[in-house]
Each structure stands twice: as C-alpha cells, then as structure tokens.
C-alpha cells in the first residue's frame, strides 16, 4: 500500500492547485453537497450521543473536512466525528470531570497519531484481509438502512449517529425499528418516499441530472415540510435538522473552548489519550482501506500520511473545543457514490458546514431528517447490494465465511469488535491455506523404473509449515527414495530446517534414502530491497 506514501513530505500536504480542474470540479462540487447534507445531522447527533456541546460536533466536521481533507493523501476519504468513539468520549468526559480536561486528551491523542504516522505504523492497514473489509462495508450498509428506517418514517427518538446494536435508550436496532413502524408520521413517510423516488429515477434523465438528486431531495423536503405545517401531516420539531443559531461574532467565538493544560500530569488524561489514539487510528485505517476498495479509479492511499493528517486534525480539534475524529466510512461512502474524484469534495463539504453555521442556520433547520434518511438509505443499499454477496461467494468459502461473520459481528456489536472477530476468522483461513501449501509433492520414475518421491519446497517456508511437513515426512512409505528440493526457496525457517535434517539423519531406520537439493544450513530473512524485481 505504501508505494505512494509520502507521509514525510510536508510540502505535499497542501499542493491543492492541481485538484481544481474543470473535469474534477463538475463531479466534486455536487458530491460535496451530498457529503455536507449527510455529515450535518451526523455531526450533531454524534455530539449529542457523546454528551458534548452540539457545536463541538460541527466544529469537528469542519476541521475534518478542511484540515484533514487538505493534509490527507486520500482523494475520497472524509474525516469527522465518529460514532464508534461516542461511548469512549461519554465515559472519558465523566471520568476526567470536565470537558476542558477531556480536550487535553484529544490534543495528546493527536500528537500520538502524528508520531505513529512518522514511525510508519500505518503499514498495519495492509494486513486486513479483503473479505473482512468487504464484510465491514456490507455491515455498514445494513446498519445504515436499519438505523435510518426510523427517521424515514418519522420516529426520531433515538440518538442520531448511534450505530451500535444496543442503544442508550435500552432499545436495540430491531426493537427500535418495530417501535418506529408502530408510530408512523405520514408526513415523514411521504417525504422519504418521494425522496427515494427522486434518488432512483432523477439521474436517469440525463439532461436534468445536472442538478444533483440529493440537492433536489433536500429542496423537495424543505418545501413539503413547509406545506405540511398546520396539517395532519405536519412534522414535529425534532424531525428537522437542528444546528445552533449565532447572532453575532461574539456569540460565535464564545462557542469555542480551550483544553485544561494544568491536567497534563493526570495519568487518566494520558490513558484516555492513548485509548483515543489507538481506536481512532484503527478506525481510520479500516475506513481508508474500505474507501480504496470502492474507489472506481482504484487509487492506493498512503496510510502513514493519513495517520499524520488525522493526528493534525485531532490536535486542532482539541485546541478549539471539538471532538476526536477519524476517517468515517458513512460520509466517505456517500462521497464515492456521489461521483467524487478528488479531495476537493471533502474540503468543500467542510467549508459548507462552516458557512451553514455562520450564514444560513435558519434555512438548514428547515431540512426534514426523513429526506436525509432517504439519502443514507440509498448509500446503505449501494454498500450492501446483492451483487457484492454473489461476488464474494464466487471466491469460495475461505472468503465468504469471514465476509459473513464480519457482517453479523459488526451488526450485532460495533465496528471494531466486529472487525476483530472477522479478522480472527480470516486469519484462521489464511493459516489453514498456508499450512496446506508449504511444498509441492510428486512421484518421479527413473530410468530403471524405480520411483522417487520429489518434494519441492515453496518460496517461503515458515514455522507455521513445520507441522504439515513433519506429518508428510513421517508418513512416507518405507524403502522410498526421497528428494527434498529447496531450489525454489528464498527462505526456510530454522525449525523447518531442523525437521528436514533430523529426518535425513534418521530415515535409514525405515530404509528411506534422502537426498537434499539446494537446501542451505541457514537462511537469513530477505531484506526488502532483495525482493524488488530487477529485469
């Protein structure tokens, strides 16, 4: 992944002029509107679920868009407050006693992430199996659909942005849907229904599709919300987007908070900081890998640079009063599915969040949540489409089982736990495959008709292969001629070498004649430069 990693090149962080090209802007600007509309309620909802000021959620989205968007090497990833951190944030604020002390933990966490990026710890992102990443994407799609259904039918009692199965209101995802369907708001149902029709069919009218479907959905939602007012179809206040309204510059700057640096010696601050740094880094790397998979151009994002960018964003967010941030898959997926091509989309979405807070909070507060839910329902459908299941099934059970396990685990727990469970299953199948492929086995006949068993070792033979090789050698028939061929091997683990040499020395007891071909007494682990192909 890191062949394009320029994390140490600070000059490369802000060379944005090359992105402002007409062919990209015609895709990036409409996409930025979609991401803005998706991010707005999520930023507010995650702040609410985290027990933080609503402004903190918006501020984090603004910094994630503008600062991280500019600094990141990813073209399509979007950063902002993450639902996966809400429980950590909620508990940390309570443990540390004040929001200002918690802000110090965010600043320190950002510093840790920058260090992780500089020491190239981002390479861990290369070790997530594809089946697990695809399962995570499908699970996020299913969660989006299940979590947005209540909003689509006008039931908005649960925390916006709470993506875990068990919720803070003692309900779970399934019971929330059942409750929502028993308390329909027909105005919201009509708005979400019309929104879905527009999202599905509007892009098919090529001449009209110059107006992005999600923007049309929001306009239609605002108009219908106004038309329904005072009727039986009227929406409740909580069924609209809600952002803080500031009347002047003084009120705006009073929204910012500063970290409490006097708590720097508090060990709890450092424990919270380390926890945030680790969880946020893992979530960012997972999201980055997932976004690269759905990027139509199949670009490879630099993971170490991403950690530095996320760290920079968290330092600034903590200094100004925001929440911890990560690269977030819901907004990133919406960005990709809306046709974005470069990081301009993520940056401009951050600008839109800032402008909406400053200049049009009243207009933004007229947007029904049900029309935004329709946008997210479409995003969820695209992430978990049936064709994805067919595609993974065709790869075989070794890919399909980790894929399905990851989906189920993410849906019923949370992102990190689910991916962890999927990783365990994925690693099991990787080891299972690895154990079965340490050598190639065939029987040869010489000129006098005598058979020789030819065992050709693989290019890399690790200690994991020891058991399989040992079983094969001990089960060879008595009186055999055996050739163990290491001519294709660049590395053979010392434990395996010992097994082979012990077998050779003791094989005479079974009448077996063993010949070793191109097997050294010792192998050094190949250096990276030795693995580079030189024609």
Asked whether residue 21 is assigned to any structural domain, the reply reads no
373 lies in some domain: yes
pLDDT score for 401: 94
Which CATH number does the domain housing residue 480 bear? 3.30.750.24
Claim to verify: residue 221 and residue 289 sit in the same structural domain: yes
Q: Which domain holds residue 197?
A: 2-8+26-386
Tally of CB atoms within 10 A around 384: 19
Phi-psi region of 439 (alpha: psi -120 to 50; beta: other; left: phi over 0): beta
- Choosing from 386, 407, 423, the residue where a domain stops is 386
Burial of 489 (0-12, 13-18, 19+ CB in 10 A): buried
473 phi-psi bin (left φ>0, alpha ψ -120 to 50, beta other): alpha
Residue 17 within any structural domain of the chain: no
How far is the C-alpha of 64 from the C-alpha of 62, rounded, in Å?
5
With beta carbons less than 8 A apart as the criterion, state whether 512 and 482 touch.
yes
Q: In this structure, are 445 and 381 located in the same domain? A: no
Q: Are residues 378 and 312 in the same domain?
A: yes
* SS3 (DSSP) at 446: coil
Of 386, 404, 426, the one marking the end of a domain is: 386
Backbone angles phi, psi at 120, to 5 degrees: 65, 40
SS3 (DSSP) at 508: helix
| Contact call for residues 310 and 327 (beta carbons, < 8 A) | yes
Q: Is residue 410 part of a domain?
A: no
Residues 331 and 451 in one domain: no
Q: Is residue 199 in a domain?
A: yes
278 and 376 together in one domain: yes
Give the three-state DSSP class for 368.
strand
Domain end, chosen from 327, 353, 386, is at 386
Domain count, the chain: 2
Judge if 217 and 351 occupy the same domain. Answer: yes
pLDDT at res. 281? 92
Tell me the C-alpha distance between 218 and 139, whole Å.
26
Question: Residue 340 falls within a domain, yes or no?
Answer: yes
Tell me, yes or no, whether 200 and 93 share the same domain.
Answer: yes
How many Å apart are CA 145 and CA 411, to the nearest integer? 11
Statement to judge: residues 314 and 454 lie in one domain: no
Q: Examine the domain organization and report whether 191 and 265 are in the same domain.
A: yes
The two structure tokens encoding residue 417: 């736990």
Same domain for 235 and 315: yes
Identify whether 329 is part of a domain: yes
Are the C-beta atoms of 309 and 317 separated by less than 8 Å? no
The predicted pLDDT at position 335 comes to 92
Residue among 45, 331, 60 at smallest CA distance from 160: 45
- What is the DSSP-derived secondary structure letter of residue 325? E
Question: Which tokens go with 442?
Answer: 């065939």
The predicted structure's pLDDT at residue 161: 47
Instruction: pLDDT tens for the chain, 535 residues: list them.
Output: 444 444 444 444 445 556 666 778 888 999 999 899 888 888 887 887 788 888 999 999 999 999 999 999 999 999 999 876 877 888 899 899 999 999 999 999 999 999 999 999 888 767 778 888 888 878 878 888 888 888 888 886 544 444 556 555 556 667 778 777 878 889 999 999 999 999 898 888 877 767 778 888 889 999 999 999 999 999 998 888 888 888 777 888 888 999 999 999 999 999 999 989 988 998 899 889 889 988 998 888 999 999 999 999 999 999 999 999 999 888 898 899 888 999 999 999 999 999 998 888 899 889 898 988 888 788 788 888 899 899 899 988 888 999 999 999 988 887 778 888 999 998 888 777 666 655 666 776 666 656 788 888 888 887 777 877 888 888 888 888 899 998 888 888 888 898 898 888 888 888 888 999 989 888 877 665 554 545 5
- Asked whether residue 102 is domain-assigned, the answer is yes
Question: What is this structure's pTM?
Answer: 0.69
Contact 65, 346 (CB under 8 A): yes
State the Cα–Cα distance between residues 217 and 375, nearest whole angstrom: 8
C-alpha to C-alpha distance for 74 and 200, rounded to whole angstroms: 29
Res 13: pLDDT: 45
DSSP conformation letters of 178-215: HHHHTS--HHHHHHHHHHHHHHHHGGG-TTTTTS-HHH
Q: What is the largest CA-CA distance in the chain?
A: 100
Same structural domain, 363 and 455: no
Q: Residues 39, 148: one domain?
A: yes
Torsion over CA: 319, 326, 274, 4 (sign): negative
Strands (E) located in 319-389: 325-327
Calculate the dihedral angle through the C-alpha atoms of 481, 486, 492, 494, rounding to the nearest 10 degrees: 40
- Cα separation, 464 vs 426, in Å, equals 16
d(CA 231, CA 186): 11
Q: Are residues 279 and 416 in contact, defined by beta-carbon separation less than 8 angstroms? A: yes
């Amino acid at each position: 992944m890191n062949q394009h990693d320029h994390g140490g090149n600070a000059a490369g962080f802000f060379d944005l002029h090359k992105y402002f090209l007409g062919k990209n802007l015609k895709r990036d600007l409409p996409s930025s509107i979609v991401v803005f509309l998706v991010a707005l309620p999520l930023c507010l909802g995650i702040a609410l679920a985290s027990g933080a000021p609503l402004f903190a959620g918006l501020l984090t989205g603004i910094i994630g868009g503008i600062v991280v968007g500019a600094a990141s090497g990813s073209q399509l990833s979007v950063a902002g407050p993450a639902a996966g951190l809400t429980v950590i944030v909620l508990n940390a604020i309570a443990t540390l006693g004040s929001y200002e002390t918690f802000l110090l933990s965010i600043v320190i966490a950002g510093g840790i992430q920058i260090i992780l990026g500089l020491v190239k710890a981002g390479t861990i992102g290369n070790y997530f199996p594809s089946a697990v990443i695809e399962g995570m994407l499908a699970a996020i799609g299913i969660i989006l659909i299940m979590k947005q259904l209540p909003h689509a039918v006008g039931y908005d009692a649960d925390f916006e942005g709470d993506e875990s199965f068990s919720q803070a209101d003692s309900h779970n995802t399934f019971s929330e849907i059942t409750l929502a369907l028993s308390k329909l708001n027909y105005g919201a149902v009509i708005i979400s229904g019309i929104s879905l029709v527009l999202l599905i069919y509007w892009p098919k009218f090529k001449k009209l599709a110059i107006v992005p479907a999600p923007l049309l959905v929001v306009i239609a939602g605002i108009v219908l919300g106004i038309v329904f007012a005072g009727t039986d179809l009227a929406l409740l206040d909580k069924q609209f987007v809600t952002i803080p309204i500031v009347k002047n510059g003084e009120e705006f700057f009073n929204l910012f908070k500063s970290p409490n640096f006097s708590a720097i010696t508090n060990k709890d601050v450092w424990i919270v900081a380390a926890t945030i740094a680790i969880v946020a880094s893992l979530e960012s790397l997972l999201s980055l890998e997932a976004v690269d998979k759905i990027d139509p151009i199949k670009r490879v994002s630099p993971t170490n640079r991403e950690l530095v960018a996320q760290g920079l964003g968290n330092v600034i967010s903590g200094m100004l009063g925001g929440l911890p941030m990560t690269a977030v898959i819901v907004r990133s997926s919406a960005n990709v599915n809306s046709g974005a091509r470069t990081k301009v989309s993520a940056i401009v979405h951050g600008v839109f969040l800032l402008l909406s807070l400053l200049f049009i909070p009243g207009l933004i507060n007229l947007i029904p949540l049900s029309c935004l839910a329709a946008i997210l329902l479409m995003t969820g459908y695209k992430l978990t489409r049936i064709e994805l299941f067919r595609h993974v099934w065709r790869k075989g059970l070794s890919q399909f089982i980790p894929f399905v396990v990851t989906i189920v685990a993410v849906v019923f727990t949370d992102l990190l736990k689910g991916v962890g469970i999927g990783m365990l299953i994925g690693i099991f199948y990787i080891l299972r495959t690895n154990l079965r492929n340490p050598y190639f086995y065939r029987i040869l006949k010489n000129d006098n008709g005598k058979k020789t068993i030819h065992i050709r070792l693989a290019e890399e033979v690790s200690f994991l292969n020891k058991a399989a090789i040992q079983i094969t050698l001990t089960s060879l028939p008595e009186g055999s001629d055996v050739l163990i061929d290491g001519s294709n091997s660049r590395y053979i683990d010392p434990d395996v070498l010992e097994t082979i040499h012990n077998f050779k020395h003791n094989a005479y007891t079974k009448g077996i004649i063993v010949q070793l071909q191109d097997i050294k007494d010792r192998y050094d682990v190949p250096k990276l430069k030795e693995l580079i192909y030189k024609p």
